[in-house]
Amino acid sequence: MTVSIDLTGRVALVTGAGQGIGRATALRLAEAGAIVAVADIVPERAQAVADDVTHAGSMGMAVPLDVTNARAVQEAVKRVEGSLGRVDILVNNAARWRVKLFKDIAPDEYQSEIDIILYGSLYCSRAVLDGMIEQRSGRIVNIISDAGRVGEPFLSVYSAAKAGLAGFTKSLAKEVGRYGITVNGVAPGTTETPGAEEFITRAGGVEALAKAYPLRRIGQPDDIANAVLFFASDLSGWVTGQILSVSGGYTMI
């Protein structure tokens, strides 16, 4: 028996999709046949990845978006639904992090990380929820990070925001399962992306970090995208409220 993942005809909205894990996720979903709305705060990045999606053989739509603006999120989802018909899959990936000891972070710096990671995910989830409830199906996948499960030095506020997103994942899953909607989380370990460069440097570089991982390497964006693809597909139809660590064995929960 051949097992394959076919997302043909389904519409995915991926936030923070202009680079790194978001970009890899957008392309992986497109390779499985999904139409992908590529949301990013930098319009040029969103368009570039939407073009990559099209070149991969699917259809891409660029969605310039600041996920911290609740009204802008609602309007963006309406544009996607108006152009593409619906949203079947939401991937909440947009994030920001500062690599600092907590004692060195000014209180006014807390808010931006919390706004993007936690409130951005709340706004996007709420914006797609009515449509998913009406169609009685949907997949919401939150990119959480193992920092939100076990904590990480130099990433205290980021860890706190991701922990909040983990709690939201479980709570929402219990609310919306009756409508055929699943809500799950993917928790990456250190992954080699543009956003992680400062943390990787602070930790001594890729080779030094890899020694802490049983599989002796850090993650690549495609490693995370593959897990998202599973949660976005019918293969995970009876899985909800779960958080999967994709970390080369660094975190075992």
- Positive or negative torsion for Cα 197, 202, 207, 210: negative
Q: Report which residue type is found at 162.
A: K
Rounded Cα distance, 139 and 90, in Å = 6
Which is nearest to 142 in space by CA: 236, 234, 250, 22?
22
Q: Which SS3 state, helix, strand or coil, does residue 2 take?
A: coil
Catalytic residue among 119, 158, 179, 213: 158
Active site residue 123: no
- Positive or negative torsion for Cα 87, 238, 24, 19: positive
Put residue 169 in one of left, alpha, beta given phi > 0 → left and psi -120 to 50 → alpha. Answer: alpha
Write out the catalytic residue numbers. Answer: 158
